[in-house]
Structure 1
Amino acid sequence: MAFITGITKGGSTWTPTFVEGIDHDKCIGCGRCYKACSRKVLAPLDIEDEENYSTRMVMEVVAEDNCIGCAACGVACPKKCFSFAPMAA
């Protein structure tokens, strides 16, 4: 299977990996990924924590079509919550 590839400034081939999802069980809602993404792919989401009878914030993929495959969100994430995959050409 062939994947979409790009070329770096130095002429090397590069295969972007696009955000597939976020593990809400790992996410601490710190917002580092949100700040790292320049394409507005992510947004905060409040979820009910039924065990503690409270609400907590996590990040959610809201505009996956805006993702350019840079993986900056995953690099910024201290809990490694993101999953990525290349896209077929």
Structure 2
Amino acid sequence: MATLTALTKSGTAWTPQYVESIDMNKCLGCGRCFKVCHRNVLELRPINEHGEFVDDDDDDDDEVLRKVMTITNADDYIGCEACANICGKKCFTHAPAAV
């Protein structure tokens, strides 16, 4: 499988690693990854006790167990891995892009 490879300014080959998933069971919802991402790739979303996403606008706050980070704009991800580097719980899974 061929993968996308780029060059750094110095000419060194670099293979960007793109976010594939975020482990909801590990995610604390702290937002550190969201703050470090300047590409608007991530969003904090509420889940219920069954691990299902629920509306944030819902008046029934009892339904929300906690919030977890989700990938909302994967096409804008540039492969820098800043989110994974800041995550203390190691929630992110990355892989190179196939070409």
Normalized against structure 2, the TM-score is what? 0.83
Deviations 1:18-60, CA, capped at 9 Å, x for gaps: 000100000000000001111000000101125xx75201100
Match of 1:8 in 2: 8
Shift of 1:74: 0.4
Counterpart-to-counterpart distance in 2, 1:86 and 1:28: 26
Root mean square deviation, CA, Å: 1.3
The 2-side partners of 1:39 and 1:54 are apart by 27
1:38-57 superposed matches below 5 A:
38-49=38-49, 55-57=65-67
Q: Which structure carries more strand by proportion?
A: 1
CA contact (8 A) 2:46 2:64 kept: no
Divergent runs of 4+, >3 A: none
Greater Rg, structure 1 or structure 2? 2
Name stretches of at least 5 consecutive residues in structure 1 with no aligned partner.
none
**Partners of 1:49 and 1:56 in 2: CA distance:** 8
Q: Hey, what does 2:91 align to over in structure 1?
A: 81
Secondary structure of the corresponding residue to residue 70 of structure 1: coil
Give the C-alpha shift of residue 9 in structure 1. Answer: 1.6
Give the Cα separation in 1 of the matches to 2:10 and 2:94. Answer: 24
Mapped to 2, the partners of 1:81 and 1:23 lie a distance apart of 5
List aligned pairs for 1:11-26, cutoff 5 A.
Answer: 11-26=11-26
Q: Can you give the 5+ residue segments of structure 2 that lack an aligned partner in the other structure?
A: 51-62
